[in-house]
Structure 1
Amino acid sequence: MKSLLISAAATTLLFAGAAHAQDFKPNAKGDLIVHVRATQVAPDKDAAIVTAAGAASGLKAHVGNDVKPTLGFTYFLTDKVAVEAILGTTQHDIRAQGPGTDVLVHKTWVLPPVVTLQYHPLPNARVSPYVGAGLNYMLFYSDKNKNGFTVKVDDGVGYAIQAGVNIKLKNSWLINADIKKVYFDTDAKINGGALKAKVNLDPLVSSIGISRQF
């Protein structure tokens, strides 16, 4: 996904340079940008699985990556300050892994809406970077237990930081590349709490897509 972002950004920069003489729309108060993106949600690291008494089990909980389409909406409060909301959902496998063990124990869908406040320092530029920060809510749903295990993952609130770039094309079209780091911890209970894990999901949310400015 990172290679895809780099390649797409390089391609669009070349395109933007070739189209330098064409019209594009600067950012302005009241503008709305609608983004259609391919987004990868990649949890940060594994978490140790312990017993109800806190003893090490020798296993770790591994949460897999997923790529899905997402929608984003950016509304400009001024020509430099905007608020963005993203909508999308991804599905993730949870595996118990350890020496000689790699078992699928759970599949779950995650609805992780993120709302950020953004700063766009170059509102009149064709290549317009931005940074942002905000909050997210992790909602787990449509859970499916696997291989005789039962798993319960708690919902909760986290926070996010963001960096991205809009590359302005002709007729209010844009290319958008965006990366968010979401910080979120959750508790996972396995087999009614006989085993448990404190999971620091902290996913990296990487997106590339096409956008329209209204």
Structure 2
Amino acid sequence: MKTIKHSSVWAAGALVLATAGGAQAQTAGSWLVRAGATQISPQVGSGDLTAPSFTGTQVDVRADTQLAGGVTYMLTDHWAVDVPLALPFRHDIVGAGAIAGVGKIGEVKVLPMTVFAQYRFLEAHARVRPYVGLGVTYARFFKERGTAALTGLTGGSPARPTTLSAESRFGLTPQVGVSVVLNDQWSLDLAYYKTFVKTRNTLSTGQTIDVKLNPNVVALGVVYRF
């Protein structure tokens, strides 16, 4: 899967903006509310579709970007609780391995729900504050849909198309990021995190396929401090 290509540009912009504005205190009791965009790029490790199927029948999952944001509460000057928020992501499922040429075989929506514990470095008034976090994610999959290609591959028909379902799962999510002050109330936030999660897809034919998703996630947001 492709990882996001513009993170280096965002990071460079953040460093330039670090010279602007006054000191914004991210002190104990502060609420930080952000809005921006997030890209999820699954780094897929696919198992084989169970019989009856061609040997090596696998899948890949495409990236998606959505409007996103989040809320952070500073427990102390250094420790915080962060909850990302986003619209549901829609990921195309495509053939891989023995069926790499068939194109899109399905799609699924996912709403990742994560709670992070964060540690922010440097002082509360620093213009640039790197941070690390560790979170737990519940990846809720819904509105799964198969295509005519999937139906053809699995012996279905237009009258009885093959459907699919994906199991929602928990995963561990480490995070790194940086907060850059723009002025007393506003800042810019750039974060990268990775969720270690896998799921099992079940077809209406009874066949199953296990998939490690392990997505790379890049989030950029503008933050307002209360």
TM over 0.5, yes or no?
yes
Q: CA deviation at 1:150?
A: 1.8
Unaligned runs of 5+ in 2: 152-161
Q: Would you say the 8 A contact 1:105–1:150 is kept in 2?
A: no
Percent identity at matched positions?
30
- Does the alignment pair 1:187 with 2:161? no
Which of 7, 11, 14 in structure 1 is aligned with 2:13?
11
Code of the aligned partner of 1:79? D
Q: Would you say the 8 A contact 1:166–1:176 is kept in 2?
A: yes
- Residues 183-214 of structure 1: CA distance to partner in whole angstroms, max 9, x if unpaired? 111111234323x2111111111111211111
Alignment partners' CA distance in 2, 1:146 and 1:38: 29
- Equivalent pairs counted in the alignment come to 209
Code of the aligned partner of 1:145? G
Name the SS of the counterpart of 1:23 in structure 2.
Answer: coil
Q: What residue is the counterpart of 1:107 in the other structure? A: 107
Q: CA deviation at 1:48?
A: 2.6
**What aligned pairs does 1:52-67 form with structure 2 within 5 A after superposition?**
52=51, 57-67=55-65
Q: What residue is the counterpart of 2:156 in the other structure? A: none
| Richer in strand (by share) | 1
Q: What residue is the counterpart of 2:154 in the other structure? A: none
Q: What residue is the counterpart of 1:32 in the other structure? A: 31
TM-score (norm 2): 0.86
Q: CA deviation at 1:92?
A: 0.4
Q: Would you say the 8 A contact 1:105–1:151 is kept in 2?
A: no
The root-mean-square deviation of aligned C-alpha atoms, in Å, is: 1.9
Code of the aligned partner of 1:10? A
Alignment partners' CA distance in 2, 1:16 and 1:117: 24
Alignment partners' CA distance in 1, 2:119 and 2:105: 42
TM-score (norm 1): 0.90
Alignment partners' CA distance in 1, 2:68 and 2:17: 24
Structure 1 pair 146–41 and aligned structure 2 pair: CA distance change class (3 A): same
Alignment partners' CA distance in 2, 1:2 and 1:50: 29
Q: Would you say the 8 A contact 1:95–1:102 is kept in 2?
A: yes
Code of the aligned partner of 1:156? R
Name the SS of the counterpart of 1:49 in structure 2.
Answer: coil
Q: Would you say the 8 A contact 1:113–1:136 is kept in 2?
A: yes
Alignment partners' CA distance in 2, 1:15 and 1:153: 42
Unaligned runs of 5+ in 1: none
